[in-house]
Structure 1
Amino acid sequence: MVLHFFRKITTLLLLLTWTATAWAETGVEPRRVVLGSHQPLTGPASEFSASGRAAQVWFQYVNDLGGIHGRQVELRIRDDRLQPERALEAIRTLVVQDQVFALFASMGKRTHAAAQPVWASFQLPDFFVQSNAPEWTDPARPGVFALEPTPAIEAQVLGQYLLREHGGERIAVWHTQAFREAAFVLLRHGFTPQIQRKESDTSLKALQGIVKNLKRARPQVVVALAEYGDLLRFLRAFAAEEGTALVYMGTALADAETVKLLDPTLLERLRLLTALPLTLEQDHPGIRLHRKLLEEYAPDLVMSRWTIQGQAAAELMTAVLERSGRDLSASTALRSAERLYLPNSHLLPPVELDSQQHRALTSLRVIQLHPDRVEYLSDWIDGR
């Protein structure tokens, strides 16, 4: 009888030990998984943090449908004001105080890089950084995945499309120094006649000189590779010189707000890339769902490119957690991410990740913006 009693006690202790081990993963509980993100909730860049709120909305929606494998998904966001030193403190709080399972959709190249020593030392998985910087994924880094297409991916897509649609035409490319590598990716497609490449800073004088040179060269197509504000300045200089060429750019200006910033005659000549639908696409099924979720869960949050991007990132994270199964751990989540194939979703393009490919948005389409709609000029083009 005593032996039988001790056997029962031993069995109970083994069960308790197994249970404690099974849920020992930081941020993973029987009914909850906690994710963390640092974003500029306040300060001059606070509009970007709408992506984080939209991600929280998506997870609320998923939770109301029963969660993922019986767990509710909680996303905690700490404010970094898009400042590196604040990002470092935000990560410390997420790791030590919030005890998150993984980082998700953190924002900014400089801010996230500043916090890297902290999250790397804790070996936290880092899912879908909202940055187009190639450093996060080229080459693939263990445990790190990024969301946005790099300039090189955009240049690869543009090169494929231009070769098919404008092969044999006169093409010129203007770029800033930061986009030099992307320009050379474009040039490697072997255009005939050879593309004219022009690099400059973005001062008004420099841009005026570049545009005048382009006008004399009379290209039929101009490709501009630069950051958002620099692209707008280039377009305004181009319009002032009454340029007549088609102008191709990456994803930076793929936004309904661009329609309000540019003259309609310039819009007619502008071609852009996009991975995600725009707010103009009122009949897009994913946009209809997105609008409905914002109205239900965050009626004060205005739909924008940032809310769309936030939900898209959350859809990716949901897919990773679903494929990780009930026995969720850092290793199972990372394996699931590296095997992720998502041909269809509400907002995302086709996504395919593997051990060497850790960037989600690599398939893009060419579009033309109209005041009230988006015209698609291509199917998905893979920029890997």
Structure 2
Amino acid sequence: MTSSVAMAGPSYGPGVTDTEIKLGQTLPYSGPGSAIGIPTAGGTAALLRRVNEAGGINGRKINLISLDDGLSPPKTVEQTRRLVEADEVLAIVGSLGSAPNTATQKYLNSKKVPQLFVMSGSSRFLAPKEFPWTMPWPVSAERVGEAYGRYIRQAKPQARVAIVYQNDEYGREGEKGIRKGLGSDADRLIVAERTYDVTDPTLDSQIVSLRASDADVLFHVSISKFAAQGLRKVSELSWQPVQFVDVPSASIAATFKPVGLEKAIGVISATYFKDPRDPAWKDDPGVAEYMSTMKTYAPEADPFDTNALFGYSVAQSLVAVLRQCGDDLTRENLMRQATDLKQVPLSLLLPGITLNTTKDDYAPIKQLRLMRFNGTSWDSFGEIMTIH
């Protein structure tokens, strides 16, 4: 790891003093994305509280101002402008959602404000030449979809594939990735596709329509609320396809519990995380530290919720970058360090997976592993897949 410690003394950007690093964030604490936003916030807050209690970053406490945007782009714009212009934060970190982050991307880049570790699977946040101040955190929906499609092509070459996906950039990229993974046979294998809008009350009509296609594989490129609705309707119809849910929806708490755990048995997803429920990690120091941190600093949050793991890991990533910055806590150096991560370990990532970025490749994570829900927890299977 590199460090840019200014020899002539500290160098500060907006929001930074000798005692504080002020950052901003928008999350859906209300609305259709709240089942994701609230636990994500819990994981982030827990890690940052622990770090601050231990003295912060070189004596500076992290002050993350996290505001509710309801997953509504106009609200995100309003809240982000407030954070940048009124609160004068150093950077926007870990904001959630494709459409909300898209709505602020040009504004933040024009202001040269880091839009760091965007919590979205859209590859539009992987465009360093056009948007050099924007960096995502999760593996993109397109890359995840490609991994799923590749698996089906090998495991079930005569599959009849149906896809339901969110009618926005995130959903379309997931669908594109599935097609890419299925390869030259995609048009033959895909027998039906339907979309939904985040304002739709239910997915019932889409699932009924897909059921009529006699598909035996169903991909849900959906956030938790709609993945849960889709799984529930599939069960009501006594339809039994092999089902995949996207990484953001691989939450037992937010997606499967509302449906009924027994109705989600066999669902496949992907991960780059250790599962705290998995007995394989019961003696793992990183998992033990995570569980202890959540219990102490965010007791109201469910530590087994996948979204809490995401929030915690994004916060760890942020801390790693801030440590690399040393006393040069300017916006320019923050991005310089964020684009120079070399094998940075995070306690909850699977063994062999680390953060790696360059000035030409802003994707911190490029590997994942498939997993299948057994009614209680996830069972990983297959080898770790690298997706470029």
Same fold (TM over 0.5): yes
Name the counterpart of 1:235: 231
SS in 2 for 1:153: helix
Q: CA deviation at 1:81?
A: 3.7
Which has the higher mean CA deviation after the structures are superposed, 330-339 or 284-293? Answer: 284-293
Specify which of 115, 120, 132 is matched with residue 126 of structure 1: 115
RMSD: 3.1
Q: State yes or no: 1:381 paired with 2:377.
A: no
**Contact 1:365/1:377, CA 8 A, preserved across alignment:** yes
Residues 316, 294 of structure 1: CA spacing in aligned structure 2 closer, same or farther, 3 A cutoff? Answer: same
Equivalent AA in structure 2 for residue 358 of structure 1: Y
The count of corresponding residues between Structure 1 and Structure 2 is 360
Residues 299, 246 of structure 1: CA spacing in aligned structure 2 closer, same or farther, 3 A cutoff? Answer: closer
Question: What is the CA deviation profile of residues 181-226 of structure 1, one whole-angstrom value per residue up to 9, with x for unaligned ones?
Answer: 54343334436695234212455344323223225xxx4x444444
Specify which of 185, 194, 201 is matched with residue 177 of structure 2: 185
Could you tell me how far apart the structure 2 residues matched to 1:33 and 1:322 are?
Answer: 12
SS in 2 for 1:37: strand
Could you tell me how far apart the structure 2 residues matched to 1:24 and 1:353 are?
Answer: 24
Equivalent AA in structure 1 for residue 152 of structure 2: L
Name the counterpart of 1:65: 54
Could you tell me how far apart the structure 2 residues matched to 1:325 and 1:297 are?
Answer: 26
Name the counterpart of 1:334: 335
Question: What is the CA deviation profile of residues 235-263 of structure 1, one whole-angstrom value per residue up to 9, with x for unaligned ones?
Answer: 34443454444323321431122443446
Could you tell me how far apart the structure 1 residues matched to 2:296 and 2:342 are?
Answer: 30
**Contact 1:324/1:336, CA 8 A, preserved across alignment:** yes
Residues 327, 157 of structure 1: CA spacing in aligned structure 2 closer, same or farther, 3 A cutoff? Answer: same
Residues 195, 139 of structure 1: CA spacing in aligned structure 2 closer, same or farther, 3 A cutoff? Answer: farther
Could you tell me how far apart the structure 2 residues matched to 1:338 and 1:237 are?
Answer: 43
Could you tell me how far apart the structure 1 residues matched to 2:22 and 2:101 are?
Answer: 19
Residues 230, 191 of structure 1: CA spacing in aligned structure 2 closer, same or farther, 3 A cutoff? Answer: farther
SS in 1 for 2:323: helix
Q: Which protein, 1 or 2, shows the higher relative CO under an 8 Å CA cutoff with sep ≥ 6?
A: 2
User: What's the % identity of the aligned pairs?
Assistant: 20
**Contact 2:33/2:225, CA 8 A, preserved across alignment:** no
Matches within 5 A, 1:214-229: 214=214, 219=216, 221-229=217-225
Question: Which ranges in structure 1 are unaligned for 5 or more consecutive residues?
Answer: 1-17
Q: State yes or no: 1:87 paired with 2:76.
A: yes
Name the counterpart of 2:28: 40
Which has the higher mean CA deviation after the structures are superposed, 308-317 or 244-253? Answer: 244-253
Name the counterpart of 2:193: 199
Q: CA deviation at 1:285?
A: 4.3
Name the counterpart of 1:12: none
Q: State yes or no: 1:267 paired with 2:259.
A: no
Residues 225, 300 of structure 1: CA spacing in aligned structure 2 closer, same or farther, 3 A cutoff? Answer: closer
Residues 309, 184 of structure 1: CA spacing in aligned structure 2 closer, same or farther, 3 A cutoff? Answer: closer
**Contact 1:52/1:105, CA 8 A, preserved across alignment:** no
Specify which of 131, 150, 159 is matched with residue 149 of structure 2: 159
**Contact 1:163/1:191, CA 8 A, preserved across alignment:** no
Could you tell me how far apart the structure 2 residues matched to 1:119 and 1:373 are?
Answer: 39
Q: CA deviation at 1:119?
A: 3.2
Question: Which ranges in structure 2 are unaligned for 5 or more consecutive residues?
Answer: 1-7, 197-202
Q: CA deviation at 1:279?
A: 5.4
Name the counterpart of 2:364: 360
**Contact 2:45/2:298, CA 8 A, preserved across alignment:** no
Equivalent AA in structure 1 for residue 54 of structure 2: L
Equivalent AA in structure 2 for residue 112 of structure 1: N
Q: CA deviation at 1:361?
A: 4.0
SS in 2 for 1:319: helix
Question: What is the CA deviation profile of residues 81-120 of structure 1, one whole-angstrom value per residue up to 9, with x for unaligned ones?
Answer: 4333433332233223332211111223333333445533
SS in 2 for 1:213: coil
Q: State yes or no: 1:276 paired with 2:273.
A: yes
SS in 2 for 1:351: coil
Q: CA deviation at 1:160?
A: 3.4
Question: What is the CA deviation profile of residues 287-317 of structure 1, one whole-angstrom value per residue up to 9, with x for unaligned ones?
Answer: 4322211222233334333322111101111
Q: State yes or no: 1:146 paired with 2:136.
A: yes
Q: CA deviation at 1:49?
A: 3.5
Could you tell me how far apart the structure 1 residues matched to 2:86 and 2:61 are?
Answer: 19
**Contact 1:245/1:269, CA 8 A, preserved across alignment:** no
SS in 2 for 1:100: coil
Could you tell me how far apart the structure 1 residues matched to 2:272 and 2:355 are?
Answer: 10
Equivalent AA in structure 1 for residue 192 of structure 2: K
Residues 161, 139 of structure 1: CA spacing in aligned structure 2 closer, same or farther, 3 A cutoff? Answer: farther
Q: CA deviation at 1:375?
A: 0.7
Residues 188, 144 of structure 1: CA spacing in aligned structure 2 closer, same or farther, 3 A cutoff? Answer: closer
Residues 135, 300 of structure 1: CA spacing in aligned structure 2 closer, same or farther, 3 A cutoff? Answer: same
Specify which of 9, 17, 26 is matched with residue 29 of structure 1: 17
Could you tell me how far apart the structure 2 residues matched to 1:302 and 1:239 are?
Answer: 26
Name the counterpart of 1:254: 250
Could you tell me how far apart the structure 2 residues matched to 1:52 and 1:97 are?
Answer: 22
**Contact 1:109/1:131, CA 8 A, preserved across alignment:** yes
Which has the higher mean CA deviation after the structures are superposed, 255-264 or 136-145? Answer: 255-264
**Contact 1:172/1:196, CA 8 A, preserved across alignment:** yes
